[in-house]
């Protein structure tokens, strides 16, 4: 059965407040406001952007929607979970400070920010799922305990999943750090001894001390390594590459199973908005400004995370005139996450587009 996906076009460089008004019209046209009842706790799942990143969804894009939720007597809060990698969002204090630095302070957006998995990511529950990889997944409590979940995603490419939007925002973004670790555990990088300069930088960044210098080159202890990819991003000499064979498929499937764990007990109380604005090769976890890889398309809204992600890929393919994500990440088939999510019953890859102006 096909799902409806609403879309509003946005032009490159359009004023942020105007985009916010368009997002609000879309939100209402898609009926997402009807998800909210009086006194309900409404989690608005975001990505506040790593320091120096510029691609994240801006506060002005969402504040009109937050006002409407409050007008319906709902209790919205912005939320995200702490990251696995070392950066500005690995614990709740740094994460909140980063969110405020990017303009998500309560004085500006009018609602609190709550980091859903707690100070050191110990605030989570085990949720049962009947997955191919997992029987239990670890979901951040303050997302799990909300009455309504709205997931707002900035669509980007991704180094390990090829493409990241609603399914990724739910699955990876709704997981505790331990849950993120479990999703990544199959992806182990390899060091090229020829390219390694033994500079030691990757040792400093590895969260689990899995790397040591042996015989003049870095060596990774596969027992300790959980595949977070931090060393890959750190090495300036291209000496560490992810082992692409096979396991990135498992990562996407695991992510879909986590996404299912987030929403399975919230049926009829979840909504999604994908922002196809300033789409970049890598995600907003990258602490740098990245150029867009395609022209702006607009914003999409739906109640189905699979349909909205499929529509996002299709619209970006149309605008780019090529298979954009395949070209950006040729060794990754990002359709895996959609296939697995659809097979789990998370949503449909069939959709009907409804254009709004």
Rounded alpha-carbon distances, angstroms, from residue 103 to 22, 113, 260: 20, 11, 31
- Work out the number of other CB atoms within 10 angstroms of the CB of residue 4: 17
Asked if 127 interacts with ligand SF4 (CB under 6 A), we say no
Under 8 Å between Cβ of 178 and 139: no
- Report the site for ligand SF4 in 29-58 (rule: CB under 6 A): none
Query: Which of 99, 115, 106 is CA-nearest to residue 50?
Result: 99
Asked if 137 interacts with ligand SF4 (CB under 6 A), we say no
Residue 194 CB, nearest distance to ligand SF4 (Å)? 11
Asked if 202 interacts with ligand SF4 (CB under 6 A), we say yes
357: which 2 tokens?
């102006």
Asked if 229 interacts with ligand SF4 (CB under 6 A), we say yes
**Among residues 191, 279, 285, 294, the one that binds ligand SF4 under rule CB under 6 A:** 191
Asked if 225 interacts with ligand SF4 (CB under 6 A), we say yes
**Among residues 74, 189, 305, 347, the one that binds ligand SF4 under rule CB under 6 A:** 189
**Among residues 235, 273, 286, 294, the one that binds ligand SF4 under rule CB under 6 A:** 235
What is the C-alpha to C-alpha distance for residues 37 and 74, in angstroms, rounded to an integer? 6
> Residue 243 or residue 335: which is nearer to ligand SF4 going by CB?
243
**Among residues 5, 218, 273, 283, the one that binds ligand SF4 under rule CB under 6 A:** 218
**Among residues 68, 199, 320, 356, the one that binds ligand SF4 under rule CB under 6 A:** 199
Asked if 182 interacts with ligand SF4 (CB under 6 A), we say no
Q: How many residues bind ligand SF4 (CB under 6 A)?
A: 28
**Among residues 48, 124, 226, 272, the one that binds ligand SF4 under rule CB under 6 A:** 226
Residue 177 CB, nearest distance to ligand SF4 (Å)? 13
Under 8 Å between Cβ of 279 and 293: yes
Residue 233 CB, nearest distance to ligand SF4 (Å)? 9
**Among residues 239, 279, 311, 342, the one that binds ligand SF4 under rule CB under 6 A:** 239
Asked if 159 interacts with ligand SF4 (CB under 6 A), we say no
**Among residues 111, 144, 166, 220, the one that binds ligand SF4 under rule CB under 6 A:** 220
Residue 332 CB, nearest distance to ligand SF4 (Å)? 17
Burial class (CB in 10 A: 0-12, 13-18, 19+), 39: exposed
Asked if 228 interacts with ligand SF4 (CB under 6 A), we say yes
How remote is the C-alpha of 341 from its chain's centroid? 15
What is the C-alpha to C-alpha distance for residues 246 and 244, in angstroms, rounded to an integer? 6
Enumerate binding residues for ligand SF4 (CB under 6 A).
189, 191, 196-202, 205-206, 208, 210-211, 218, 220, 225-231, 234-235, 237, 239-240
């Amino acid at each position: 059965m096909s799902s409806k996906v609403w879309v509003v076009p946005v032009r490159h460089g359009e004023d942020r407040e105007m985009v916010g008004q368009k997002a609000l019209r879309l939100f209402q046209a898609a009926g997402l406001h009807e998800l909210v009842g009086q006194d309900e706790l409404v989690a608005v799942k975001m990505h506040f952007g790593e320091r120096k990143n510029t691609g994240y969804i801006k506060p002005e894009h969402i504040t009109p929607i937050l006002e409407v939720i409050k007008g319906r007597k709902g209790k919205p809060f912005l939320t995200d979970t702490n990251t696995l990698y070392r950066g500005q969002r690995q614990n709740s204090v740094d994460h909140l400070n980063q969110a405020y630095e990017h303009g998500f302070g309560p004085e500006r957006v009018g609602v609190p920010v709550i980091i859903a998995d707690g100070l050191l990511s110990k605030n989570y529950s085990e949720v049962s799922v009947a997955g191919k990889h997992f029987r239990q997944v670890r979901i951040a409590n303050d997302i799990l305990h909300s009455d309504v979940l709205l997931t707002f995603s900035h669509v980007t490419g991704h180094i390990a999943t090829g493409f990241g939007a609603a399914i990724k925002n739910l699955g990876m973004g709704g997981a505790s750090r331990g849950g993120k670790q479990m999703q990544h555990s199959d992806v182990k990088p390899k060091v090229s001894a020829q390219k390694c300069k033994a500079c030691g930088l990757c040792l400093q960044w590895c969260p689990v001390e899995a790397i040591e210098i042996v015989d003049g080159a870095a060596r990774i202890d596969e027992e300790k390594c959980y595949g977070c990819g931090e060393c890959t991003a750190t090495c300036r000499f291209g000496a560490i590459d992810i082992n692409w064979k096979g396991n990135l498929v498992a990562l996407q499937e695991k992510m879909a199973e986590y996404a299912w764990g987030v929403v399975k007990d919230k049926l009829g109380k979840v909504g999604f908005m994908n922002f196809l604005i300033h789409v970049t090769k890598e995600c907003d976890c990258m602490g740098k400004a990245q150029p867009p890889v395609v022209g702006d398309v607009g914003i999409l809204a739906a109640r189905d995370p699979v349909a909205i992600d499929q529509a996002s890929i299709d619209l970006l393919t149309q605008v780019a005139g090529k298979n954009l994500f395949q070209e950006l990440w040729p060794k990754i088939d990002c359709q895996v996450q959609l296939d697995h999510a659809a097979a789990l019953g998370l949503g449909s890859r069939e959709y009907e587009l409804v254009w709004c102006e």
